[in-house]
Amino acid sequence: MEYCLSGINPPFQKMLYYSYRSGSFGVGAQVVLSVYNASCTSGIQTHDFKTMKTFQDYLPARSRCGVLPTAALLLSLVIAGSACNSTTIPEPPTSLEPGRVTHGEDHYGTFFTYVPTTAPQQPEILVLVHGTPAEDQTEAEDAEYYVTNWVDFAETQGFILIVPVFNQENFSSRLGDHALSGYRGLFGREINADEWLLRLVKAYQQTLGLADEPFYLYGHSAGGQFIGRFLVTHPEAVKKAVISSAATYPQPTTTVAWPFGMGELHTEIEWDADTVRQVDIVPDKQKWLAATQVPLTVIVGLNDTAELSAVLIPGQNGRNRFTIARNWIDAMAAFAAENGLESHFKLEIIPGKGHSMSGLISYSQGALISE
């Protein structure tokens, strides 16, 4: 028999299930499992996880609406049915309040958004992907830094900004040599990084009535690595993209395995001692070719010439961001030409600039709106 622990975060589903099976629940335990209440329409609430006292605090608001009063332990187990699928995870909350940076909380992580006061009736969506946070910075602070630096551009151009927070625990944001580079390679502990980004975008597209319209993408440094791999995986989803100062790119050769090339990847990723995911990736050559038809600008500062560790740049042609970017643009152009296409990728070298998001931001913004 299968049981449905609907609306509960997965770690606590597992804890409660095995506690139930082993009979380890004690009388008066401060734990409540609620039957999923499909009629409840409350939104997701943001919680301070440090102050939570009982299991009820870990329930999304939609599930808490159905909590049953009890003097002792109440365990409501529902035989699995239509509720035991992905639809039990609430959709990401969408804020359309203009002129204000908002911090939303989804099942898989948090994210920032900004809706400009100048947004047209059918606005464009621009997703910003942050890089590796500084040692004294949290991932959320890094993402917020990105969105605040792009607010004026959003107001001028009418773009809605979405900025996912790729944290260390679920997306290995700080350690590029862990979990096959984590979100840089589109990987994630519970959900792949690209799938989570698409989930957030889809929520706003549905709210705005934009269907599956392609959107704009920008990423700096580690975020730029994400953009390159997202582009060759989901070319149909991207209208235009800018990569700023990335260290690695997906090379168009099957002799180098994903995420650094077009070769197959079959392995296990150990996120920690308790979380190991089997990964089987077979890159689609046709999607890589389709990616070359998407307008992409790669921007690198001429002074961004620091030599990179070979451990962090497998399969790359070059030892610094400048030469690696230049050689990748050439390789993708040759790949397109071999298949009867002309690549729409271009490289912009900025004199006097190094590895700086803020130093290259005006060039990146200009590339996004250029014809």
Q: What is the pLDDT of residues 280-300, one digit of tens each?
A: 999 999 999 999 999 999 999
Average pLDDT, the chain: 80
Which has more pLDDT, 318 or 76? 318
C-alpha 323/C-alpha 291 separation (Å) is 21
Q: Which of 55, 57, 141, 44 is nearest to 95 (CA)?
A: 44
Q: Where is average pLDDT lowest: 13-27, 48-62, 170-184, 201-215?
A: 48-62
Q: What is the three-class DSSP state of 327?
A: helix
pLDDT band, very low/low/confident/very high, at 176 (cuts 50, 70, 90): low
pLDDT band, very low/low/confident/very high, at 361 (cuts 50, 70, 90): very high
Where, residue-wise, is CATH 3.40.50.1820 in the chain?
101-369
Q: What is the mean pLDDT of residues 263-276?
A: 91
Residue 12 burial by Cβ neighbours in a 10 Å radius (0-12, 13-18, 19+): middle
pLDDT at residue 231 tops 60: yes
82-137 pLDDT per residue, tens: 334 445 889 999 999 999 999 999 999 999 999 999 999 999 999 999 999 888 99
pLDDT at residue 186 tops 90: yes
Give the 3-state DSSP-derived string for 50-101, with helices as H, strands as E and coil as C: HHCCCHHHHCCHHHHCCCCCCCCCEECCEECCCCCCHHHCCCCCCCCCECCE
Q: What is the three-class DSSP state of 167?
A: coil
Q: What is the mean pLDDT of residues 17-36?
A: 34
Q: Which of 240, 287, 283 is nearest to 260 (CA)?
A: 283
Quick one: pLDDT at residue 272? 85
Quick one: pLDDT at residue 267? 93
Q: Which CATH class is domain 101-369?
A: alpha beta
Quick one: pLDDT at residue 273? 83
Which has more pLDDT, 180 or 204? 204
pLDDT at residue 173 tops 90: no
Q: Which of 111, 108, 135 is nearest to 189 (CA)?
A: 108
pLDDT at residue 62 tops 60: no
Which has more pLDDT, 186 or 80? 186
What share of the chain has pLDDT > 90, as a percent?
65
pLDDT at residue 20 tops 80: no
Quick one: pLDDT at residue 27? 33
pLDDT at residue 232 tops 90: yes
